[in-house]
Chain A
Amino acid sequence: MAEYSCLIVEDSPMMRQLLVFALARVRNLRVTEADDGVDGLRKLASARYDIIVTDINMPIMDGLKLVKRVRMDPIHKDTPIIIITTEGSQEDRQRALQLGANAYITKPIQAPQVIATVKELLKID
């Protein structure tokens, strides 16, 4: 059975813990955590990930900049990216999707929604 790897980029330890709990429900998904965009890029440079879940509002490098950088990376340019943010407006959603994000989830997150989105983007049951 195929094994997938997921990178969570989130500055809030609480949100990271919550996302790790939620994604533990997806079978064969290995989760790695990064504190912010820069840490995320560092981790993306050292390993290949099948999916990225990132917050937008983070210190040092925010989620949108990270999405831009990932789309320029030859290894991860096609990797699905899920944006998680408190911003719920249609414009924010459009902006994130235009930058190359594949899905957009607003906080407070619902674990079943995160799980369903990850499964859908990874095309797993």
Chain B
Amino acid sequence: MTKDRKSGPTGSDAPGPDLKSERDQFLKKFTRGAKLTDDFLREVEQLQDRLRDLEAENAGLRAKVEADEAIRELLGKIERLETEKRELLNRYHRVEEVNSEFTARVQEVESEFANLANLFVASNQLHSSLSPRGVTRRIKEVLAQLVGAERYCMYLANQDNTELVPIAYEGVAGSALTPVKISDSELGQALLKGAASVSDHDPTAGTVQRPAAIIPLSVDEKTVGVIAIFSTLAQKKRFDTVDFELFKLLGQHAAAALVSASLFAHTDRKLPGLEAFLDLSV
């Protein structure tokens, strides 16, 4: 066909008017087509750019939504953890309370145990001797070592129960101690009442005239004497519960141990024969 155009019916290389017009039209169309193509390609490019932007925007939005969800989840988790923390703190405080109650109870039990040990040792020692001197020494030990008495005296009532006679003492001169009338003395009153008397004053500052404590001594429900604690050691500022228990124990056991030891000494330390125990059935 090209060949045909080149060698047209005119025999010249120049195109004929129709062809020219056709070519111009074609060129015009082609140019327009090219322009359209360019426009189209530009549009495609723009659309592609737009698409990329939209995709990026979409990705961003998706990420944001995901992040929001993650934040919501995290917030939920924080709330759950906060609740858990509050519960754990409450539990911790409860356990702490129980623990401190338990510690206080242990200390109470330990203190009670120590008091019982004191009473047991005192009782055990009072009855571990069968000589009057040995019993007296042990009574003095209980007073000095367990009660913390510094100056004290043990008195026994005379036969006609009119006077209290000092029989053992510590920390005071013997000359300072004389028999005391039961009827008109503080010691006598304690004996008659049969109840321990404890001064409200500082026990370290007590005197022979104003004892810090008076403990009546009983044998078989009869009061036979008293122990007067005139004053206590400097570090013993007050009497505690265990001291009152020790007073009670001394009141009930000291004189009995002393009487038993005296009777045993009077029998030349001979143990009673079996016949002495034969009629004990109750």
Contact = CB atoms under 8 A, between A and B. Distances in A.
A105 to B, nearest CB: 10
B234 A89 contact: yes
Given A25-B113, A111-B110, A112-B107, A13 B125 contact: yes
A34 to B, nearest CB: 17
Nearest to B149: A108
B234 A112 contact: no
10 smallest CB-CB distances across A and B, nearest first, come from A111-B114, A88-B235, A108-B148, A21-B117, A14-B125, A106-B235, A18-B121, A17-B121, A88-B234, A14-B141
Contacts of A12: 141, 145
Category for how many chain A residues contact B:
10 to 19
Contact of B233 (A21, A25, A86, A110): A86
Nearest to A18: B121
A107 B117 contact: no
Contact of A107 (B110, B121, B128, B148): B148
Contacts of A111: 110, 113-114, 117-118
A15 interface: yes
Contacts of B181: none
Contact of A14 (B107, B114, B121): B121
A41 interface: no
Secondary structure call for the B interface: helix
20 contacts: A12-B145, A14-B121, A14-B125, A14-B138, A14-B145, A14-B146, A15-B141, A18-B117, A21-B117, A22-B114, A25-B113, A86-B150, A86-B233, A88-B235, A89-B234, A106-B233, A108-B146, A108-B148, A110-B114, A112-B114
A3 B99 CA distance: 28
Contacts of A14: 121-122, 125, 138, 141-142, 145-146
Interface string B117-147: 1101110110010000000001001101111
